[in-house]
Amino acid sequence: MLKLRIIPCLDVKDGKVVKGVKFRDQVIVGDILDLAQKYSEEGADELVFYDITASSDQRTVDRSWIARVASVIQIPFCVAGGIRTIEDAESVFSAGADKISINSPALENPDLIDRLSSRFGRQSIVVSIDSYFNGQDYLVYQYTGDPSKMRSSLRRTEDWALEAEKRGAGEIVLNCMNQDGMRQGYDVKQLATLASRLGIPLVASGGAGSVEDFVDLFKETLVTGALAASVFHRGVLSLPGLKKVLFSRGIGVRL
Amino acid sequence: MKTKKVAIFESGGANFSSVFHALTRLGCAPVVTKSIGDLQKSDAIILPGVGSAGLAMEQLMQLQAIDFLKKQQRPVLGICLGQQLLCRSSEEDDTACLGIFPLQVRKLIGPRIIPHMGWNNLVKVEEGEPLLKGVDTLDNFYFIHSYAVEIASPFSIGIADYFGTFSAVIRRDNYYGVQFHPEKSGISGLKILKNFLEIKV
């Protein structure tokens, strides 16, 4: 049976792991290598490394960190941040990434998804979407790593996710901005709707605060993974503890 | 075992470092190379792969590696796309592959979610196979693929199930292939790599 994945995310800024609330007010929460190794050893099913200001700073994710993280973990490694071209992707893969995740550059130039997918295979291309509910509709935001540059792309979240799938994305990560860093639960409603419409894996992100949030997510949606940051960084939940409880509640995770 | 020279053949994919790091953890000093000369100096060859079958075969052709890979006496391990390249042909880009295994690589099809991405166990493990020593159906491995190798006796020695069964581990003489990524599969994956390093031809 395919296991449901628990995925810690390292949001990185200036060589440190940071975490904010709703993508703002980031504070340093730890060291990159310490956290990467700890999560790998504790049973994380994948690790995401996200250079959060790469796109808004017009640069690509820092390669030397990718290589260092890759050397201390034994689990799949997804890297994100300012990957704009085939050459960028190539160097990120050869530094040690298994998958790359693209966000703002794909919104600037959707054809990038097609080109990356045909060059590297769709299974290694993740499209990450920052989705904000404005009271009426879910809209895609871009340049979310820098609060002063953050803006709506005017696209509807579901339209963009389906377009990304059609263009060759192998997985979608949906960051629910209204829930980000709040630790009050995933946006189960939005995730359930999107997961039922996609033919590729959907990973939930934003809002994890307790074991029950993970239980609700997996019981009520078809997502195949849950990404979380602050609950793990702040020690609210431990990975082994979380997975044990999920398993005992009938949720198929890897122990 | 520590002196075993393992060459990681840099072809068709982009991520060789994870294989490199995993072998290093096992006390091996692997070389990552595109040179047939380096492969000739090695005791065992790993053919990793992230990428697409058509491009990967094109690259093997450009590196003039095809005949060399077909005539190996050394242990050879194909990982993921590398396993698929050892087969006869792939539906991906309609590609003729190396043909070491008389097996076809087929596209996984819906309604299931494609790619098959994540941790999964084997549903059948052939006994007495050196590559699978100490491995059982409780071990989980990391899979990430949209194409898979068909099942055929006696080649399929490990079978996985994702809305239908496929060959997760294949063997013909000194040639081995795994669909999952042992280098990314924690302790279970390291067992496979360690077993591979211990194979004697």
Across chain A, mean pLDDT equals 93
Say yes or no to pLDDT of B3 above 80: no
Give the chain A residue nearest B190 (alpha carbons).
Answer: A74
| CB contact at 8 A, B147 and B107 | yes
Helices (H) and strands (E) in chain A, counts: 10, 12
Pairing of strands B116-125, B140-145: antiparallel
Mean pLDDT of A208-216: 95
Does the active-site annotation cover A130?
yes
Which residues of B fall within a CB distance of 8 Å from A94? 14-17
Would an 8 Å CB–CB cutoff place B21 in contact with chain A?
yes
pLDDT value of residue B13:
53
pLDDT value of residue A218:
97
Say yes or no to pLDDT of B14 above 60: no
Say yes or no to pLDDT of B1 above 50: no
B51: left (phi over 0), alpha (psi -120 to 50) or beta: left
Say yes or no to pLDDT of B50 above 70: no
Q: pLDDT tens digits for B138-148?
A: 999 999 888 99
CATH no. for A5-248: 3.20.20.70
- Chain A from 120 to 139: CB within 8 A of any B CB: 120-124
pLDDT value of residue A120:
86
Which residues of B fall within a CB distance of 8 Å from A79? none
**Which of B57, B81, B113, B192 is best to mutate for the A interface (most A CBs within 10 A)?**
B113
Domains of chain B and any CATH numbers: 6-198 (3.40.50.880)
Mean pLDDT of A193-218: 95
How far is Cα of residue B199 from the mean position of the Cα atoms in its chain?
15
Show me where the domains of chain A are located: 5-248
Task: Report the alpha-carbon distance of residue B61 to residue B66 in Å, rounded.
Answer: 6
Does the active-site annotation cover B181?
yes
Say yes or no to pLDDT of B201 above 80: no
- The interface predicted TM-score of the complex, written ipTM, equals 0.81
Mean pLDDT of A37-64: 90
Residue pointed to by tokens 């200036």: A14
Q: At what angle do helices A188-197 and A211-220 cross, to 10 degrees?
A: 30
Which residues of A fall within a CB distance of 8 Å from B139? none
Mean pLDDT of B122-136: 97
Above pLDDT 90, what percent of chain A? Answer: 74
Q: pLDDT tens digits for A136-160?
A: 999 999 988 788 888 899 999 999 9
pLDDT value of residue B12:
55
Say yes or no to pLDDT of B82 above 60: yes
Say yes or no to pLDDT of A133 above 90: yes
Q: pLDDT tens digits for A79-105?
A: 999 899 999 999 998 888 989 999 999
Mean pLDDT of A205-216: 95
Greatest mean pLDDT among A134-148, B5-19, B92-106, B107-121? B92-106
Task: Please tell me the least confidently modeled range out of A128-132, A243-247, B32-36.
Answer: B32-36
| CB contact at 8 A, B73 and B201 | yes
pLDDT value of residue A123:
84
Which residues of A fall within a CB distance of 8 Å from B141? none
pLDDT-based confidence at residue A59 (cuts at 50, 70, 90): confident
A171 contacts B117? CB cut-off 8 A:
yes
